[in-house]
Each structure stands twice: as structure tokens, then as C-alpha cells.
Structure 1
Amino acid sequence: MFGTHAGLATAHAAAAETLNMTKDDVASAPEGPRMMASRIAPARVTPIDVNGIRYEAVWGALGLFRATEVKTGKVLWELTLYHYRYDDRLERDVQDVFVSAMAKESPSTILVTDERATVYRVDLEKMTSRIARWPVGVKLVAREPLTVELVIANDTDRTVKFDKPSIGFGGRLSNDLFRVQADGVELPYGGMMLKRAPPGDFLTLKPLSEFRVRLDLSADYAVPATAKKIEVRFAHANHFSPDDFQLYSPIPLVIR
């Protein structure tokens, strides 16, 4: 479901940036560069009790979700919510992904967020889970005209399919994919709203691959030339895909 890093050099730099590492943290080894780092301990996420059953993300375990009877302490069932791929050039411990938050969505569902901002919806009755929200990155290319780069990465262990118009494939907008604010005022989308049947093909991202596309937003969002602060978020459903999660940017792009 997540994209690969294009090119070893790019992947190496991206990993270092993600881990807040400097050049001094990158050590050369006979087989090539290898990242050397350590990570902070994972968060201890507060369990959620529902009708005498305690639901928790097991601390120190990678994506393990557990249901336990409160009175007896008996484990009723468990789920592993995700599997991420490891980059063999990096230390494994710094690539571990733990649960960072949980919230009760309804009497029968809990939303679980991992450290990479992917959100999983756990069905307490069916004892199953699905991805609810998939994080994407939005990077500034130019302020005038307002141009951004959308980055979708797949670091999981399975292939994921994306609806092309829902991710600006080809470098053109055919739907309202972004939320753009200028000085705190949301700007309406003035571009194309394509009506269509389900697509015949999708963008397929294999494990450890990524998709990047540059999009000129200036024609579809009328940003005032006097704007002192522009905020851009991505928010759209992955329509028609069997991976029918919401795509979102957990951190807004802020331009001053």
C-alpha cells in the first residue's frame, strides 16, 4: 500500500531526513552506506474499555491490537493491524512502527493511528480491521504560480491500487483534491469536476515504491496576490479502488 523510494541516493537522503539524522549519522560499510541511529521509546497508548472488554495496542509490539476481558484478564482475540517493509540498508529498530493513538469512533469501531499517520478502523464485532486513512505528503515547488508536489509512498508489504483522478495522475486536477486557505479563509475549488464510470486501470504501487506528481493549483484555487499565509492540505477518497480509504495530508503545507 505504500510507495518505494526512487533511487538509492534519494531513498538514503529521505530516510535520513525522516529520522532527523545528519550526515554524521550515516556510516559507510563494505556493502554500502548504512544508517546508524536510535529511536525514542514508543508511546503508551491508553486502552479503551467497551462493555467490559478492554481494547489496547500492546506496548512494544508492532501493530498488535488485543481484546481482553476486564474481569478475568482473559485474552479474547488479537489482530496485527499492519506489516511494514524494512530497508536492509537501515538499522531495523529505527524503522519499527508502533501505534501512536486510539479513539472510539462508534460503539462497534475503534480508530487506531500508527506513527506514520496511517489510520486503521477496527470492527469490534467482526474482529477485523481495514485502513481508514492513508497519509500523503504535500511539498512546495513554487509559490507563484502555486505549485505543489504530491507524494504517495507505500512502505507496507503488499501492493496497493490508487484511483488515478483521485491523485492528480498526469499532472492535472479533475476534482477537488485539496483544501487551500489564504490568511485563514478557505478558497473554493473552481476547476473541473469530472463525472465518470469506474476506471479500467489504476496506479499500482508495489511495496517500497512511491508516486510523485507536480500540480499547478493556481488555475483552480484563486489565491490572492496579497495573501501572507497560504495553507494547503490534501483530502480525497480513493474512489473505485478495492483499497477504498481516505487519502489525507496529516501535516499541512504552510507557505508564508
Structure 2
Amino acid sequence: MADAADGADGTDTAVRAGKEDRHFVTALARGLDVLACFRSFDTVLGNAEIAQRCGLPKSTVSRLTHTLTELGYLQPLYEPARYRLGSSALALAPAAQQGAEVLAVVRPHMQRLAELSQGVASLIVRDRAHMMIFENCQSESYLTLRVAVGTRISGLATAAGRAYLDALGGIDQRRAVAAFRGRDGIDAARADAILATSHDEVKRLGCTTSFGEWLPHINSIAAAFRPGPALPPMTLSCSGPAAIVPAAQLLDTVRPHLLASIRKIETALGVMAG
């Protein structure tokens, strides 16, 4: 379920944005792209791997990793020369603690949805030009489509991305669509059609769908929720191979439970925020 071009995404988008926005600092964007290469399943990387993922010359990456090392955001390792996240990057974690609190509320609902669907339930957030798996739960009988936390997926072709976009409004939605379009290579007319369809689905069904539109033979539904005033919308999705999780099962059996879970999650998070 990993994005086919996962990792080699940030720089091209950053350069295009920099050309269009005089306030955009491309060098900063590239440095953040380097940090975003490190994931729960890729904690140690070399300059060559980072250069490939960011789509940058190795000489540019060498300067960026040197600067990030000097500032403590990367820690150098030797023999061979590689890097992992340093203390300055780890010090940012407490600021994201609210995300962990959200996960504690959402996880029991995810597990129940995974067992009900016989597939995978995922908590998904936006990561720049992608959506990203923040956490997932799978049914005990589920043997395929193993999805690693930190995997980045399409923002326009997935149910999760579509639910996220519908939960946004105004300039926030326009900016997210522009980022997703640049990454997915989708023109404006197609993106507008996706937005219109997603909005109609949310009105009729309470959720968005993607039946074989992102990956062939993969079905998914998703709904967004607001975790609180300090965090952007998050999405909860249920998905799996069409042979195991047909569209009718997702819509008829799983969808009512997904929507009920969203209501309970928002209520619980509202009580916590209060």
C-alpha cells in the first residue's frame, strides 16, 4: 500500500512553490524535506539515499545534512557515514504530544472497525503533498496489505485524502489541493471533479470512497474528524482488497460503524479539550 514513488516528492513541489511565492524559502523547504525522509522504518540514512528520496543533487544534500548536523537536528554516524535524527529534532516531539492523546482515544475504535471489516483501519494525517499513515490496526485474520506506519499515500486518489480535503475550507483547501495535484500529476479539472464528488458523497453517505482508484483491487472508505482547535483534521479509513472487503460490505456494514465511531471520537476529544 506504499506510494509507488514514496519519498522522492518534496523538492519538486518546493521549487515550484518557491517560483510562485516570493515569501517561500526554498532552502528551508529542502531542509525539512531531508528531515521528512526519516521514518519509523527508516531511522538511519546516508546522503545518497536522502538525495534519491528528495530528488536533489548529492552535493546539495551534503550541505543540508552538514547544516542540520551542526544545529543538532541530525546525528552523524560513521563507518559508513550515515545519519539519524538528532536531539533537536527529538525535542520537537513534546509539541506533538496531543497527537498521541488523540491516538489513545481513536485506537479502540480502529481495532473494532478492523475486525468488523476483516481489513485494515487506519488513522491518517496530511504530510505536505501526501497523506500519511499515523497508525493502523488490522484484523487477526488479515494476511495481506501490510501497511507500515509512516507510509505516505495519495491525497487525491484515496478516500482518506478526499475526506481530509472535504473537511477543509477556503484557502486551506486550495493550498492542500495544489500540493496534492503537484505530487499526483492531476490537472485542475480532474481535481475539481474529485472535490465535487467527495463533497456529494459526504452529504449522502457521511464518508468518502475510493474503489480501485488509487491501487487496483483496493477498496476504501474514510471519514474526517476534528481532533481539537490545535490540530488539523484527521481521517479514519477502512480498506482492504476487493476480494476480501467488497465495496458493498464497506458501505452497508462498515460505514454505519465508522460514522458512529467518528461521533464518539469527537465527543471524547471535546470532553478532553473542555
Work out whether the TM-score is over 0.5: no
The structure that is strand-richer by fraction is 1
Q: TM-score, normalised by structure 1?
A: 0.30
Asked which structure has the greater CA Rg, the reply is 1
Greater per-residue helix proportion:
2
